[in-house]
Amino acid sequence: MRLDIEALRVLDVVIQEGSFAKAAAKLHKAQSAISYQIKKLEQQFDVPIFDRSSYRAELTPQGRALWQEGRQLLQQAIRIENLADHYSKGWEPTFELVIDGALPLEPVMRAMKALAEKEIPTKIQIKVEALGGVQMRFDQDEANMMLVVDYTPSPKLNAIPLPEVPMILVTSKDHCLAQQKEVDLNQLLNYVELTIHDTSELPTSKLDSLQFGGDKVFYLHGFDSKKTCLLMGLGYGWMPLSLIETELACGELVEVDYTSSRHAFTPKLVHSAELPLGKAGELILSEVLSEFEALSR
Amino acid sequence: MRLDIEALRVLDVVIQEGSFAKAAAKLHKAQSAISYQIKKLEQQFDVPIFDRSSYRAELTPQGRALWQEGRQLLQQAIRIENLADHYSKGWEPTFELVIDGALPLEPVMRAMKALAEKEIPTKIQIKVEALGGVQMRFDQDEANMMLVVDYTPSPKLNAIPLPEVPMILVTSKDHCLAQQKEVDLNQLLNYVELTIHDTSELPTSKLDSLQFGGDKVFYLHGFDSKKTCLLMGLGYGWMPLSLIETELACGELVEVDYTSSRHAFTPKLVHSAELPLGKAGELILSEVLSEFEALSR
DNA sequence: ATTACCCTATCAGTTAAATCGATGGAGATG
DNA sequence: CATCTCCATCGATTTAACTGATAGGGTAAT
């Protein structure tokens, strides 16, 4: 394979400019260099590309077909150079973010939307896991970042605390618990608890610290469906305050009168302390940060 | 743009072989040449492609991403070389065949089917025109070949006569004409004549010599629909004998008892006498020829 | 530990490719 | 006819690619 990209570029310019001489001028080369390159192509391909019998060299049908294929190759070459340029400027080729499914996904999704509008060269992957599964996936995939409530600290990991997410224990206004005063744990256990499902396949090593431990538990896949279930009066459960402000204001959801019906946790953005974040990482960091700040207000 | 295909090939082989040294052996080059090429790539891209800190050089994420893009470029390069190889062996990039719609299309279609099974590198285009439109299109498109009943001869055109196509004037067994003996022209003009539509947009210069000139004429788009109309008893018309042999045998269609109810024309394959046919042209020629031979038997 | 390999980087020298500048022939232009 | 512009070709020159040898590590088996 002796095919030369430069030769294809010369061919392309010659065709666009209409003559060898003009192409030479445009490429800042001598006209003989153009002749040489075209001739080389013709010899390599063993196909006449130009018909020189008339005054101006004219493309042969074969030449035209090869030119069209060549343009695609040039496009691909430009693509590669652009990519390399991005990488050299600090963009990661790919960026994987693992999220704890117990966290509200909305701010992350909003951050991703904001990022998508900036046309980042980095391919971003997001994986949602839960509890132990988060760090497992982070380690296994050598992911770039994880967004967690809890993790095993290590000197190799760098954690950036996000603003607190206030949580509130609520139920539907039509649920029995809504009427009760000074609810105690035993009473809670009589009703259906709504919680987020653990996506990890392994037997969970740590228990969800926010779970009450009753025998009627509904495991859901996100706060969206949890909210729907709460509104249906299915049971009670923790919700991020920000997600149900309107429902609390209009009275559709009410706070359970439990000893500690308020709670807050601090999500953390964790990444490897060794290799620094690239441009995409920094961007994601700041976007997620600002979305969570909006959430805590 | 000084991206070099050879460098990408070297990168690809290095990755596949797992080391610079093995790649050097496979490419029949000195190991230093491999080092040189990889280094050149890294300098051009300003991106580290291999991590040399450990014993064997390991791909960086950027290197992997660029490699994957590079492979696509290599594929495209191979594609171009294959094409050129085909062209140099006499395959035309494209082949355009213009057919007179008054001819039976079936043998041409069968020829194309046979060709398709041979995986020809040539892109074949077929355009169906009629009467004057055929040669007009042939000239205008600078088509490679045309299949005609009639054409304006020229020293620049080379015509190959195909076997005669016997035509027969038929109608349905239930049509009035089927019962009549010694039909004359005036009687014919009372009934609906079925004929093939002229696809040329221009006012037809020459008249269809096989048309009777009555005022009840149905213009159809091919012998298939013409046959259907005949079987329905809509009228009478010329058909290639070979296409209606079974219907004649079982009596569904009958020959009109007209003075000259038999006729034969000689289709011709016409191509430029100046530039010789390429491999695709020769193939098409022989395929069409053999299909028409089958038709005339 | 010692030895024998195998990895990659680097350097000086060689070879081959790309390019330049000049020249010439042939069609277009006016 | 003179003058352009087009392209091919040739010798000279610059530049890029490659070789072969050497050196600095790491690996793996004894």
**pLDDT tens digits, residue range A31-60?**
999 999 999 999 999 999 999 888 888 999
HSE of B17, CA atoms in CB hemisphere, 13 A: 16
Strand order in the sheet with B157-161: B123-129, B94-100, B145-148, B268-272, B157-161
Q: What is the pLDDT of residue A205?
A: 41
The nucleotide whose C1' lies nearest the CA of B54 is: D26
Cα B268 to the center of its chain, rounded Å: 17
pLDDT at A254 over 80: yes
B163 neighbors B285 (Cβ within 8 angstroms): no
The nucleotide whose C1' lies nearest the CA of B30 is: D19
Kindly list the protein residues whose beta carbon lies within 7 Å of any strand C atom.
A 4, 6, 24, 28-33, 36-37, 40, 54-55; B 19-22, 31-32, 35-36, 38-39, 50, 52, 55-57
Q: What is the pLDDT of residue B203?
A: 45
Kindly list the protein residues whose beta carbon lies within 7 Å of any strand D atom.
A 19-22, 31-32, 35-36, 38-39, 50, 52, 55-57; B 4, 6-7, 24, 28-33, 36-37, 40, 54-55
Size of interface A-B (CB pairs under 8 A): 101
Looking at the complex, report in whole angstroms how far the Cα of residue A46 sits from the nearest Cα belonging to chain B: 6
A181 neighbors A156 (Cβ within 8 angstroms): no
Q: What is the pLDDT of residue B211?
A: 65
Q: What is the pLDDT of residue B200?
A: 53
- Eight-state DSSP code of residue A204: P
Q: CA angle, B101 as apex, B100 and B103 as ends, to 5°?
A: 75
Q: What is the pLDDT of residue A45?
A: 95
Q: What is the pLDDT of residue A288?
A: 93
Protein CA at B55 to nucleotide C1' at D28, angstroms? 13
Q: Under an 8 A CB cutoff, do B88 and A1 touch?
A: no
Q: Name every chain B residue with its beta carbon within 8 A of the beta carbon of A61.
A: 92-94
pLDDT at A120 over 50: yes
Give the amino acid at B275. L
Q: Stretch B74-81: mean pLDDT, rounded?
A: 94
The nucleotide whose C1' lies nearest the CA of B55 is: D26
CA–CA gap between residue B96 and residue B124 (Å, rounded): 6
Protein CA at A44 to nucleotide C1' at C8, angstroms? 34
Q: Stretch A81-94: mean pLDDT, rounded?
A: 91
Better pLDDT: B256 or A212: B256
* B80 CB-contact burial (10 Å; exposed 0-12 / middle 13-18 / buried 19+): buried
pLDDT at B1 over 70: no
Q: Stretch B189-211: mean pLDDT, rounded?
A: 64
- Model confidence over B91-132: pLDDT tens digits? 998 999 999 877 888 889 999 999 989 989 999 999 888 767
Give the amino acid at B286. S
Q: What is the pLDDT of residue B190?
A: 86
In this structure, what token pair is assigned to residue B12? Answer: 């690809």
Cα A218 to the center of its chain, rounded Å: 29
Residue B82 CB neighbours (<10 A):
12
Q: Under an 8 A CB cutoff, do A87 and B64 touch?
A: no
Q: Stretch A187-194: mean pLDDT, rounded?
A: 87
Least-confidence region, from A12-26, A192-206, A232-246: A192-206
B216 pLDDT band, cuts 50/70/90, is confident
Q: What is the pLDDT of residue B265?
A: 86
- Look at residue A200 and give its three-state secondary structure: coil
Nearest to A269 by CA among A144, A166, A154: A144
pLDDT at B60 over 50: yes
Q: What is the pLDDT of residue A11?
A: 96
A200 pLDDT band, cuts 50/70/90, is low
pLDDT at B199 over 90: no
CA–CA gap between residue B239 and residue B168 (Å, rounded): 6
Q: Residue A158 pairs with which residues in a beta bridge?
A: A271
B143 neighbors B97 (Cβ within 8 angstroms): yes
CA–CA gap between residue B138 and residue B96 (Å, rounded): 9
Looking at the complex, report in whole angstroms how far the Cα of residue A66 sits from the nearest Cα belonging to chain B: 7
Measured in degrees and rounded to the nearest 5, phi and psi for residue A30 equal: -75, 155
Q: Which residue among A3, A47, A77 places its CB closest to the CB of B3?
A: A77
* A32 CB-contact burial (10 Å; exposed 0-12 / middle 13-18 / buried 19+): exposed
Better pLDDT: A251 or A225: A251
CA–CA gap between residue B136 and residue B274 (Å, rounded): 19
Q: Residue A147 pairs with which residues in a beta bridge?
A: A99, A269
CA–CA gap between residue B171 and residue B166 (Å, rounded): 16
CA–CA gap between residue A241 and residue A104 (Å, rounded): 11
Q: Stretch A246-258: mean pLDDT, rounded?
A: 94
CA–CA gap between residue A122 and residue A144 (Å, rounded): 12
CA atoms A187, A189, A190, A192: torsion sign: positive
Torsion from C-alpha of B151, B156, B157, B158, nearest 10 degrees:
150
Nearest residue to nucleotide C20, by CA–C1' distance, is A30
CA–CA gap between residue B78 and residue B70 (Å, rounded): 12
Q: What is the pLDDT of residue B185?
A: 85
Protein CA at A29 to nucleotide C1' at C19, angstroms? 8
User: How far from B239 is each of A30, B168, B267, B289, CA to CA, in Å?
Assistant: 66, 6, 15, 20
- Model confidence over B18-34: pLDDT tens digits? 999 999 999 999 999 99
pLDDT at B209 over 80: no
- Beta strand pairing status for A94-100 and A145-148? parallel
Q: What is the pLDDT of residue A42?
A: 95
Give the amino acid at B184. D
Better pLDDT: A96 or A197: A96
A297 pLDDT band, cuts 50/70/90, is low
Q: Stretch B170-179: mean pLDDT, rounded?
A: 93
Q: Stretch A268-273: mean pLDDT, rounded?
A: 92
Least-confidence region, from A26-30, B20-24, B149-153: B149-153
Least-confidence region, from A50-54, A102-106, B7-11: A102-106
Q: Under an 8 A CB cutoff, do A69 and B92 touch?
A: no
